[in-house]
Chains A and B, each alone.
Chain A
Amino acid sequence: MSYVGQSMPMMTNARLAAGKGMFVDDVQLPGMTFMAVLRSPYAHARIRGIDVSAAEALRGVLYVATGREIGEQTNPIPETYDTAAVGAKGVSWYALCVDRARFVGEAVAAVVAEDRFTAYEALDLIEVDYEELPAVSDPEQALEPGAPLVEPDWGDNLMASRDIRLGDPDTAFAEADGVVEGVVKSARITGAAIEPRGCVASWDPYKEALTFWDSTQAPHAVRMYLARTLGIADTSIRVIQPHVGGAFGLKLPTFQEEPLCAYLSMKVGRPVKWIETRAENLLVGGHARDTSFRYQAAYKADGELTGIRLDVIADVGAPSALCGWGMSFVTWYCLPCVYKCENSETHLRSVVTNKCPWNAYRGYGKDAASLLMERIMDHIAKATGIDRTEVRFRNFVQPDEFPYPQVSGAMLDSGNYPGALRKVMEMIDYEGFPALQEEARREGRRIGLGIAMELTPEGCSMPGSLMLNGTDSTEVRITPNGNVIVLTGITSPGCGNETGIAQIVADALRCDFSRISVVQGDTETCPWGFGNYSSRSIIIGGSAAQVAGDEIHDKMRQVAANMLEASADDIEVVDEQFVVRGSAGRGGVGFEDVAREVYSNPHGKNMEGIEPMLQSVRQWKMPNVYHQPEKQGRFSAYPSWPYGAAAAIVEVDPESGHVKILRYCLVEDAGTIVNPLLVDANLHGGIAQGIGGAMFEQIAYDESGQPLTATFMDYTLPTAVELPRLEIGHQQTPAPFTPLGTKGVGESGVGGTLGSLCSAIENALPEVDLHLTELPLTPSRIWEAIRNAPVPAGAAA
């Protein structure tokens, strides 16, 4: 019986469905106090002074902290993406603004009070003397000479830039049969986990130890960063990740509030809880994707893409210690995604503005790269008159070309792109669609079909990073009673990897699944690990679990062989019985017998020359990461390259611009699948978030940097009514660099939505030369694009 490959519901389901989960706001400690944060109302302001006397005088207020104190008493929050290692500019970011606020919502002061009412009331009593400074919220304006500077010390608003020429773009453009050009902009969005961020800090002044519950993805990293910020030993901190109510990258450390809460607990000597409001979450909880592309693509008459010229501007918001800005590099790094194009000229600029900093968000820039390439493919198809799928087939990296060195320095590990596209075309009945479209047209309905590929590299490992790292560890222990406990360095904010890892370990140990329990997210008990992001949990954590399980199984097999007076090579396991090969049903020793023998007779004959106990901590390092940069600074940070082919059918109302998604199909290659049910579950979530960003969601600011989307009434997540039934198909090309061939699936599904929905909407209205250039595809944008589109010559008006 093999568990890998079986659909099994998550091990956590019953507890969560019962409402008995333990989320961070459910943590209650004796003497608990509450932290509230005063935030800058200005996009850019100097803080000339703060008067906290009235707040301090309010009954129930225990402590008020300002940036001056934090600047003196704590260290800057360490960067999670090493700016210096990749030639970018960095800042010293403290848990409170020391003398200047750089975006609306940046933390200016904090109150600890006996209860939340008092804490919020005290915020109103704090008097801040602000000097408003000029702010910039548009990234193109931020690049103009004389623009207000987000960081005056920098001299400009450019955090990082890359100019890379590959191959011979000049010749490619000179010899092209045609050139398409255009603009694509994807809006600023956020993950908006339904559970907001939050933490509980409990400092024990006598033990000089901090216990820190955090709705985070990376407890070990939080421990390390808290220790550095607070100037205490990391071994005096225990970080516990309770159940996490969704994260999607945005709960990667370290925000201002985490060290702030810990600092204040040390000050008041009592537990301090901080739970953000939804408005705070949308204001400062990390943003993403806000990227614009100007592109030119050279092509041959047969649809071959021969050259790309690209100007990318990523608006990363204000610089911080968060790792989100790195998404702008990853966008470039993915290009040209699943296609071959040797000649390119890229000008990438990561621009800072007076807006909320980026933090990582599902897709991590890969989504934007797929959007760009799929728009280019559609435009070449339109320009040449060749079918959209055919243009893609002609440009794919072919299945026999892996591992394929992509021009960015990336090394694509494996795949079958044409196979995935063919499969999704079958699912959606691509050949039959024109008849369907014509039939709908006769009924007065306008439907369109769009397709898009997505490429979602995973297992990120950045040079110099103590968080974005291609290694992890798992510990497997078997008790004398024969129960198995698995402790992991990776974590699960609700995506089910604990179940997948238990499946992997059960197979490695040849034991029943019910023996296994999994512990995650506790720095005191779990081995060192980097947590959950970049779909790394099954690829890296699962691989570590596999080797730890294998090691224990080898020992048990040897002990069983000794017990049976046979050679270990002759032992097989049937229904948890270790037996001499071919003698199943005729004696043998059980799983529990072997476990008991190991522990109870360490000096016996069956344990001669064998290390006692059944415990193994094993590490896994992805073998195919290349960090020594070559001469243009390129390196290969991603070891695993899942991809997918998406197809959407939409109905468009040209009078209102309203779009209804009728069908959405995705064929995904996540390598070997450990748990098909949970792979589908993750893909559904990725697609839903992708559709949200493609159609509905936008974090908006006005020109002065004032946010306009502070509630879920303004930042509109898709509900069950807007989303269609999602159809998933699989293709499995095992990864060559992991023991099981797993590739990761956590971010897949997002990228394909963007291009396929643009493509489908344009396809619904063939009589207008529609070019959708800006996400989200709101009704007003579509309506406007229809009104502005030139009517092709010869078409009926």
Chain B
Amino acid sequence: MSAVKTSITVNGTQRDLDIDPRLTLVYLLRENLGLTGTHVGCTTGNCGACTVLLDGKTVKSCSIFAADVDGSELVTIEGLSTGARELHPIQQAFVDHQGLQCGFCTPGMVLSALALLEKNPTPSEDDIRHAISGNLCRCTGYQFIVESIQAAAAARA
């Protein structure tokens, strides 16, 4: 396969890449760029563990070819926390309110929450539940996730 030249900005850093056209975005992030916080749970766009922000909107990176995002700006979970141990307030809310258990769906869940709060800073519980309905969690019953997002919203207000 001949590689496709692709330029993308990932977590603020511009990358010029030669991409195998068979590669989906999630594997580009995980295997070529070493950003393993984005997870693979189904590869059919159902579970949302691979959710990233593409030009500010949530997308399921398992269902997009990497070569198709040329010129775009991507944010992954690694783009939210800086360096040592600092967490984004939404991540911190998940930590404090036990909005996770195994942690596998968490990066996608946090990014969906971020996209929601950017658009709607004062969401209702129903808004939150709909905003994360593309992210499956098998551990938590979503309750503490919803409470974490409520707490994050309250802290931003």
CB of A329 within 8 Å of the partner chain? no
Q: What is the distance, in angstroms, from A279's C-beta to the closest C-beta of chain B? A: 8
Bound-complex Cα distance A12 to B139 (A): 15
Specify which of A117, A191, A495 is in contact with B101 (CB 8 Å cutoff).
A495
A-contact bits for B130-147, CB 8 A (1 contact / 0 none): 101111111111111110
Q: Which residues of A contact B128 (CB under 8 A)?
A: 720
Assuming the A-B contacts A10-B98, A17-B94, are A194 and B105 also in contact, with contact meaning beta carbons closer than 8 angstroms in the complex? Answer: yes
B58-117 contacts to A, CB under 8 A, are 76-78, 80-81, 85, 87, 91-92, 94-107, 110
| A86-94, A137-145, A240-248, A395-403: which lies at the interface | A240-248
A16 touching B77, Cβ below 8 Å: no
B146 touching A195, Cβ below 8 Å: no
CB of B6 within 8 Å of the partner chain? no
Specify which of B87, B105, B107 is in contact with A14 (CB 8 Å cutoff).
B87
Q: Which residues of A contact B102 (CB under 8 A)?
A: 16, 193-195, 243-247, 493-495
Q: Which residues of A contact B38 (CB under 8 A)?
A: 19
Q: What is the distance, in angstroms, from B86's C-beta to the closest C-beta of chain A? A: 9
CB of A289 within 8 Å of the partner chain? no
A-contact bits for B21-49, CB 8 A (1 contact / 0 none): 01000000010000111111111101101
CB of A13 within 8 Å of the partner chain? yes
Bound-complex Cα distance A245 to B105 (A): 8
Bound-complex Cα distance A13 to B101 (A): 8
Smallest CB gap from B34: residue in A = A28
CB of A192 within 8 Å of the partner chain? yes
Specify which of A17, A20, A677, A720 is in contact with B132 (CB 8 Å cutoff).
A720
B140 touching A245, Cβ below 8 Å: no
Nearest first, the 6 closest Cβ-Cβ pairs linking A and B are A19-B37, A494-B102, A16-B103, A245-B104, A688-B141, A19-B77
Assuming the A-B contacts A9-B95, A18-B77, A278-B42, are A684 and B103 also in contact, with contact meaning beta carbons closer than 8 angstroms in the complex? Answer: no
Smallest CB gap from B145: residue in A = A720
Task: Classify the interface of chain B: helix, strand, loop or mixed.
Answer: loop
Specify which of A246, A681, A688, A711 is in contact with B46 (CB 8 Å cutoff).
A711
Please count how many residues in chain A sit with their CB below 8 Å of the partner chain's CB atoms. 54
Bound-complex Cα distance A21 to B141 (A): 21
CB of A196 within 8 Å of the partner chain? yes
Q: Which of B87, B129, B136, B138 has the most CB of A within 10 A?
A: B138
Extra 15 A-B pairs, beta carbons < 8 Å, given A245-B105, A685-B101: A13-B103, A17-B99, A19-B37, A19-B81, A21-B37, A21-B104, A193-B102, A194-B105, A194-B138, A195-B39, A278-B46, A495-B102, A685-B141, A711-B44, A719-B129
CB of A717 within 8 Å of the partner chain? yes
CB of A687 within 8 Å of the partner chain? yes
Q: What is the distance, in angstroms, from A122's C-beta to the closest C-beta of chain B? A: 15
Interface residues of A (CB under 8 A from B): 9-10, 12-21, 23, 25-26, 117, 191-196, 243-248, 275, 277-278, 493-496, 677-678, 681-682, 684-685, 687-689, 711-713, 717, 719-721, 723, 725-726
Q: What is the distance, in angstroms, from A699's C-beta to the closest C-beta of chain B? A: 15
B107 touching A19, Cβ below 8 Å: yes
Assuming the A-B contacts A17-B87, A712-B136, are A681 and B98 also in contact, with contact meaning beta carbons closer than 8 angstroms in the complex? Answer: yes
B138 touching A192, Cβ below 8 Å: yes
27 CB < 8 A contacts A-B: A9-B98, A10-B100, A16-B100, A18-B80, A23-B104, A25-B30, A25-B40, A194-B49, A195-B49, A196-B40, A243-B102, A278-B41, A278-B43, A278-B46, A681-B101, A684-B142, A711-B46, A712-B46, A717-B136, A719-B135, A719-B136, A719-B142, A720-B128, A720-B133, A721-B130, A725-B125, A725-B146
Q: Which residues of B contact A10 (CB under 8 A)?
A: 98, 100-101
Q: Which of A196, A245, A247, A717 has the most CB of B within 10 A?
A: A245
Q: How large is the interface on B (under 10, 10 to 19, 20 to 34, 35 or more residues)?
A: 35 or more
Q: What is the distance, in angstroms, from B149's C-beta to the closest C-beta of chain A? A: 10
Q: What is the distance, in angstroms, from B20's C-beta to the closest C-beta of chain A? A: 8
A496 touching B43, Cβ below 8 Å: no
B133 touching A719, Cβ below 8 Å: yes
Smallest CB gap from B126: residue in A = A721
Bound-complex Cα distance A339 to B42 (A): 42
Specify which of B36, B43, B96, B129 is in contact with A720 (CB 8 Å cutoff).
B129
Assuming the A-B contacts A17-B100, A194-B104, A721-B129, are A685 and B42 also in contact, with contact meaning beta carbons closer than 8 angstroms in the complex? Answer: no
Smallest CB gap from A27: residue in B = B36
Q: What is the distance, in angstroms, from A213's C-beta to the closest C-beta of chain B? A: 14
A277 touching B87, Cβ below 8 Å: no
Bound-complex Cα distance A682 to B49 (A): 20
Q: Which residues of A contact B81 (CB under 8 A)?
A: 18-19
B144 touching A684, Cβ below 8 Å: yes
Q: What is the distance, in angstroms, from B114's C-beta to the closest C-beta of chain A? A: 12
Q: Which residues of B contact A193 (CB under 8 A)?
A: 102, 104, 138
Q: How many A-B residue pairs have CB under 8 A?
A: 186
B137 touching A194, Cβ below 8 Å: yes
Q: Which residues of B contact A726 (CB under 8 A)?
A: 141, 143
Q: Which of B39, B80, B100, B101 has the most CB of A within 10 A?
A: B101
Bound-complex Cα distance A684 to B97 (A): 14
A725 touching B104, Cβ below 8 Å: no
B36 touching A246, Cβ below 8 Å: no
Smallest CB gap from A711: residue in B = B44
Q: What is the distance, in angstroms, from A19's C-beta to the closest C-beta of chain B? A: 2
Assuming the A-B contacts A18-B77, A194-B49, A713-B44, are A723 and B39 also in contact, with contact meaning beta carbons closer than 8 angstroms in the complex? Answer: no
Bound-complex Cα distance A222 to B43 (A): 28
Bound-complex Cα distance A16 to B135 (A): 16
Q: Which residues of B contact A494 (CB under 8 A)?
A: 101-104, 139
Q: What is the distance, in angstroms, from B130's C-beta to the closest C-beta of chain A? A: 6
Q: Which residues of A contact B107 (CB under 8 A)?
A: 19
Specify which of B37, B42, B44 is in contact with A18 (CB 8 Å cutoff).
B37
Q: Which of B36, B38, B94 has the most CB of A within 10 A?
A: B36
Bound-complex Cα distance A12 to B80 (A): 18
B141 touching A723, Cβ below 8 Å: yes
A713 touching B46, Cβ below 8 Å: yes
Bound-complex Cα distance A682 to B102 (A): 11
B139 touching A246, Cβ below 8 Å: yes
Q: What is the distance, in angstroms, from A34's C-beta to the closest C-beta of chain B? A: 11
A191 touching B138, Cβ below 8 Å: yes
Q: Which residues of B contact A191 (CB under 8 A)?
A: 138
Q: Which residues of B contact A681 (CB under 8 A)?
A: 98, 101, 139-140, 144
Bound-complex Cα distance A192 to B47 (A): 11
Assuming the A-B contacts A494-B103, A713-B44, are A19 and B140 also in contact, with contact meaning beta carbons closer than 8 angstroms in the complex? Answer: no
Bound-complex Cα distance A9 to B98 (A): 6
Q: Which residues of B contact A495 (CB under 8 A)?
A: 101-102, 139
Smallest CB gap from A193: residue in B = B138
Specify which of B78, B103, B135 is in contact with A21 (CB 8 Å cutoff).
B103
B91 touching A17, Cβ below 8 Å: yes
Smallest CB gap from A16: residue in B = B103
Smallest CB gap from A712: residue in B = B46
A712 touching B77, Cβ below 8 Å: no
Bound-complex Cα distance A16 to B110 (A): 11
B100 touching A277, Cβ below 8 Å: no
Assuming the A-B contacts A685-B140, A689-B138, A720-B129, are A20 and B37 also in contact, with contact meaning beta carbons closer than 8 angstroms in the complex? Answer: yes
Q: Which residues of B contact A496 (CB under 8 A)?
A: 101
Q: Which residues of A contact B77 (CB under 8 A)?
A: 18-19
Q: What is the distance, in angstroms, from A781's C-beta to the closest C-beta of chain B? A: 23
Q: What is the distance, in angstroms, from A157's C-beta to the closest C-beta of chain B? A: 32
B104 touching A246, Cβ below 8 Å: yes
Q: What is the distance, in angstroms, from B148's C-beta to the closest C-beta of chain A? A: 9
Bound-complex Cα distance A193 to B42 (A): 10
Q: Which of A689, A719, A720 has the most CB of B within 10 A?
A: A720
Smallest CB gap from A687: residue in B = B141
B98 touching A677, Cβ below 8 Å: yes
Q: Which residues of A contact B142 (CB under 8 A)?
A: 684, 688, 719-720, 723
Q: Which residues of A contact B42 (CB under 8 A)?
A: 278, 711-712
Q: Which residues of B contact A723 (CB under 8 A)?
A: 141-143
Q: Which residues of A contact B95 (CB under 8 A)?
A: 9, 13-14, 17
Smallest CB gap from A12: residue in B = B103
Smallest CB gap from B85: residue in A = A14
